[in-house]
Structure 1
Amino acid sequence: MSAQPSRRSWRRPLVVAAVAAALAVPSAAVATDTSSTVTDWSDRTAVQVLDDTYYQDAVGKTGPELKAALHTIIRKQSTLSYSQVWDALRSTDEDPNNPANVILLYTGRSQSKTANGGDADDWNREHVWAKSHGDFGTVTGPGTDIHHLRPTDVSVNSTRGNKDFDNGGQQLSEAPGNYTDSDSFEPRDAVKGDVARMILYMAVRYDGDDGFADLEPNDQVNNGSAPAIGRLSVLKQWSLQDPPDAFEEHRNQVIYDQYQHNRNPFIDHPEWVDAIW
């Protein structure tokens, strides 16, 4: 199995293709008014088009108003069963250099899509927002939301467990660049921002109004079974340190186009992290 570079080789989609994806919202997704016509896309970026359509009720807001607006937008989604997550991750996390493989989150290893299961060197489904933090398990909803579910090495997933995120600890021999101690886990540099944005997506998407716990980040570790994950100040630092790359942007688009039909707004607008927190 080949090692994967820290910066991945997905090319940013052509503007025309991204614009088409932004407007072609499936019936299960947000019902967005796209009646206005723009005849020249040459000076329009994909995010600007999303701001005019998908994010139109959030643009210009800050703080609690922005968080509430984004919650209303992204809660309108299609859902998956836990068994359907396997096939979804084979698509969302496909290795751009080898379509037979997926990229594992913490190790960066490129591994066969079919090498999944429970053995030590298999890959399995990691809940980046640990499912015990809010006790949502693997039920349809937060337990199957692929915006925060990623393929990971089984034993590395076990080492992370349900620990909060923070800097420091001992480096993992099986996954160099990742560190852990008794109450926290630090992912490798290339995915620190990915982890932060997944956590903050969950905090906006699951706000306590749909039968699940109100998930919130805080600035501590040892959160246990509380519906909270820390450390917020570190997650904000990681989001700045590791801005969205083409792999993460592509993943967001695949989830939107093919599966849940909602987006992680902090990938499209990383500046919204500071605007809310």
Structure 2
Amino acid sequence: MKKTLLTLLIPCAFGANAAYEQAHDPHVVGGLPTLTCEMTIKEPVEPPIPPGEIHNPDGYYDSALDKTGDELKLALNNIISTGITKLPYTDNSSPDAMDVWKALMITDEDPNDSSNVILMYTGRSQLKTLNSSSDNGGDAWNREHSYPKSNGGFNDNRASAYTDIHHLRPTDASINSERSNLEFDNGGSPTSESPAAGNKKDGDSFEPRDAVKGDVARMMFYMATRYEGKDTSDVSNPDLELVSTVSGNGTALGNVCRLLEWNTADPIDDFEFERNSKIQKIQGNRNPFVDNAQWAEVIFRKDCTE
């Protein structure tokens, strides 16, 4: 089912802090008189699929539909490892050359302001041009490897995982530095950067704010499915796995038990769902766990050994 193209006259309220709210969270803004605004939905978009239903756009997952467990993971690996366009991390050869910077300006664009991107950990809406390619300040945005490249062993920017935009997100440079290569779990104290946002960290783990916990989990499920150490043409050829611990894991990453909880607690929303489709247009593949979040349980539950 798709949304219909329409134009609506709706009441709109504007406030000074609106630009700093997460685009796919409920907005609570105010402070100025209510105005009447015209809102046009420019093109049909597919909404997220209700939990439990299978989303199979254009038969993309046909070869995986009758499988479960490790067989499902293998089938999904074959699907999402095919037809990939590997992006350069940075390409300044021309204004039109696609690279990770430009891709993230598309995939994470603020739906309410096309000049901005939404920063994952803070939820801040920020100018696309205020990024670390032109500004070294702590409030510039940079390219966060949500699966840390040092953990995964893909530190070479020629590696597919290094430039895979399914797990690369715009983040405030300061909080990216605070998180460093910490793995994911609950607990800790508020981060120094934007403590009110809800991110926490301790000596061995990082807990993202509630509004993106599911996003983080589904990115990790994707990485552990996409990179199975089978692609011998890849400069790093990583085999990424999810485990129940958060330290001493080698190229594996934890905590998978918490990721499964976050996958349920923070369901897929329009922003994440539409980001998946944008990535397919740029990179050539989809994140199966954004399309079908329930697959995470049947593949990764066995790895939760707490």
Paired residues for 1:119-198 under 5 Å? 119-137=137-155, 138-175=157-194, 176=196, 177-198=198-219
- One-letter amino acid matched to 2:103: A
Q: CA deviation at 1:104?
A: 0.3
Contact 1:8-1:247 at 8 Å conserved across structures: no
Residue 238 of structure 2 is aligned to residue 253 of structure 1 = no
Identify unmatched segments of 5+ residues in structure 2.
1-16, 27-40, 48-52, 91-98, 301-306
Q: Which residue of 2 aligns with 1:4?
A: 21
- One-letter amino acid matched to 2:75: A
Q: CA deviation at 1:7?
A: 3.3
Contact 1:82-1:140 at 8 Å conserved across structures: no
CA distance in structure 2 between the aligned counterparts of 1:66 and 1:264, rounded to whole angstroms: 14
- One-letter amino acid matched to 2:285: N
- One-letter amino acid matched to 1:129: Y
| 1:30-76 C-alpha deviation (Å, 9 max, x unpaired) | xxxxxxxxxxxxxxxx96552x6110000121100000000000001
Q: Which residue of 1 aligns with 2:29?
A: none
Paired residues for 1:236-247 under 5 Å? 236-247=260-271
SS of the counterpart of 1:201? helix
Q: Which of these residues, 86, 92, 104, is aligned with residue 89 of structure 1?
A: 104
Aligned residue pairs: how many? 245
Q: Which residue of 1 aligns with 2:77?
A: 71
Q: 1:104 to 1:171 in 2, by over 3 A?
A: same
CA distance in structure 2 between the aligned counterparts of 1:59 and 1:204, rounded to whole angstroms: 16
Q: Which residue of 1 aligns with 2:123?
A: 108
Q: CA deviation at 1:242?
A: 0.4
CA distance in structure 1 between the aligned counterparts of 2:247 and 2:214, rounded to whole angstroms: 21
- One-letter amino acid matched to 2:290: I
| 1:178-221 C-alpha deviation (Å, 9 max, x unpaired) | 00001100000000000000011000000001141100010001
Q: 1:99 to 1:68 in 2, by over 3 A?
A: same
| 1:12-34 C-alpha deviation (Å, 9 max, x unpaired) | x9997659xxxxxxxxxxxxxxx
Contact 1:164-1:223 at 8 Å conserved across structures: no
Runs of 4+ aligned residues of structure 1 deviating over 6 Å after TM superposition are: 13-16
SS of the counterpart of 1:99? strand
Q: Which residue of 2 aligns with 1:55?
A: 61
Tell me the TM-score normalised to structure 2 length: 0.76
Q: CA deviation at 1:261?
A: 1.2
- One-letter amino acid matched to 1:55: Y
Q: Which residue of 2 aligns with 1:234?
A: 258
Q: 1:49 to 1:210 in 2, by over 3 A?
A: closer
* RMSD of aligned residue pairs (Cα, Å): 2.2
Residue 285 of structure 2 is aligned to residue 267 of structure 1 = no
Contact 1:221-1:229 at 8 Å conserved across structures: yes
CA distance in structure 2 between the aligned counterparts of 1:79 and 1:8, rounded to whole angstroms: 31
